[in-house]
Structure 1
Amino acid sequence: MTEPMIAVRAATRRYDEGPPALDDVTLTVVPGEAVAILGPSGSGKSTLLNLVAGLDRPDSGTVTVNGVRVDSLGETASAGYRRRTLGMIFQFFNLLDDLTVTENVVLPAQLAGMPRREARRRAGELLETLGIDRHTGAYPGRLSGGERQRVAVARALMNRPPLLLADEPTGALDTASGEDVIGLLADLNADGQTIVVVTHDVRLARACTTRTVELVDGRVVSDVRAEPVR
């Protein structure tokens, strides 16, 4: 039986005396799945993503990713876990404006200790595959939103992570650029990449994933598998 890529077990997270941000959530994602976490603002989507990323810890329950008990890691080990295991795509790109496209993309590899020549070769391959190799020496501020998100995707894939996390990846894009990113995520999953997309956009979820998990008030209210509309 395939070991899960993500195994969240009875995870609860509170930030104050009010209702929990995440309430007894159990979720399993197997390698090769593309899963959308849906829900309105305040539903617990970002909290769940932060637990999986090792940026936060549950008050109770466990979080295991790729065989690692993420909730038990210290700060240094958690940073190493993210370098080895995760690629992360954000709504507002999180690129460094004073670095070129290539320099942004190779940054995770440098942090992981990859030799410079190998890192630049890998970055060149990714940028060519994503159709933005003509911008290797440009700075992010000179690119369109869709181009910047493609640079962010290249950066996320730099260390060949087993798990790709995308937080509202089309939220800051126009419709055409959003469609491009949706197609890119769908293609990555078709090639075997495990992806978890956090979004409030049902159309995005249906277009690039085959499973949707809906959160309301910190609890899972539905978990549905369906063929994507591509």
Structure 2
Amino acid sequence: MTDPVIELRGVTRRYDEGPPALHDVSLTVAAGESVAVLGPSGSGKSTLLNLVAGLDRPSEGTVTVAGTRVETLGEAASARFRRAHVGLVFQFFNLLDDLTVLENVLLPAHLAGAPKRGARENATRLLDSLGIARHADAYPGRLSGGERQRVAVARSLINRPALLLADEPTGALDTASGEEVRRLLTDLHAGGQTIVLVTHDLRLAQACATRTIGMRDGRVESDR
């Protein structure tokens, strides 16, 4: 039996004297699962994602991702860990407009010190598999929202991460582009990618997730 990709034990996150943003959360995510985290604004969804990504640290409890206690890592080590093990996809793409599509996708590989030739071959394969190879030399501003999100997904996968985290990946997209991203995430999961996505999009959760975690007031309210 393989170890879980994500394991949270008794995780609480406080930011001030008010109620905690996350309160005593324990959960595991196995390799190959696709998990949707749902809940109203302020329920703790993004806090949970940030803790798993190592972008934030818990006030109490432990966060283990791909066998590493991420809450113990310093800033530089946390950044190296994300580059090697975690792919991040955001609502507003976070692409660099002065770099081409191919250059955007290659950036995490270069930062990780990957051999240039192998990284370029991998990036080209990713762009082809995601249906955007023809845009390799274009700049992000010339692409549709759905195409830009595909570039963001390619960038997140360039270092072959154990885990893909997506924060409202269809939130800034029109209906057609959102459907493109739904199909893409479904295909990635079918190929074995472990995915955790935070979303308000029930259609996305139903299409892509094999498990749904409902959150409210910083607690896990349901897990099915």
TM-score, reference length from structure 2: 0.99
Q: How does 1:1-230 map to 2 (within 5 A)?
A: 1-224=1-224
Give the drift of 1:2.
Answer: 2.3
The AA in structure 1 aligned to 2:114 is M
Shift of 1:117: 1.5
The DSSP-based 3-state class of the residue aligned with 2:24 is strand
CA distance in 1, matches of 2:4, 2:136: 36
Q: Is the 8 A contact 2:36 2:212 kept in 1?
A: yes
- Given residue 6 of structure 2, which amino acid in structure 1 is its aligned partner? I
Measure, in 2, the Cα distance between the counterparts of 1:25 and 1:218.
8
1:140 Cα deviation from its structure 2 partner? 0.3
SS of the equivalent of 1:221 reads: strand
Alpha-carbon RMSD across the aligned residues, in angstroms, is 0.7
CA distance in 2, matches of 1:53, 1:76: 13
> How many percent identity over aligned positions?
73
How far did 1:201 drift?
A: 1.8
Segments of structure 2 that go 5 or more residues without pairing to the other structure are none
TM-score by length of 1: 0.96
Query: Counterparts of 1:77 and 1:101 in 2: how far apart (Å)?
Result: 27
- Report Cα offsets for 1:134-191 as digits up to 9, x if no partner: 1111000010000000000100110000100000000011111101101110110111
CA distances 1:61-116 after superposition (whole Å, capped 9, x unpaired): 00000100011111111111101110111000000000000000000000011121
Q: 2:203 and 2:27 mapped to 1: Cα distance?
A: 22
Contact 2:182 2:204 in 1 (8 A): yes
Instruction: Report what 1:228 is aligned to.
Output: none
1:186-205 per-residue CA deviation (whole Å, 9 max, x = no partner) reads: 11011100000011222211
Q: Which amino acid aligns with 1:203?
A: R
After superposition, the C-alpha distances for 1:2-51 in whole angstroms (9 at most, x for unaligned) are: 21100001100011111000000011000000000111110000000000
Where does the alignment leave 5 or more consecutive residues of structure 1 unmatched? 225-230
User: After TM superposition, which residue ranges in structure 1, 4 or more long, deviate above 2 angstroms?
Assistant: none
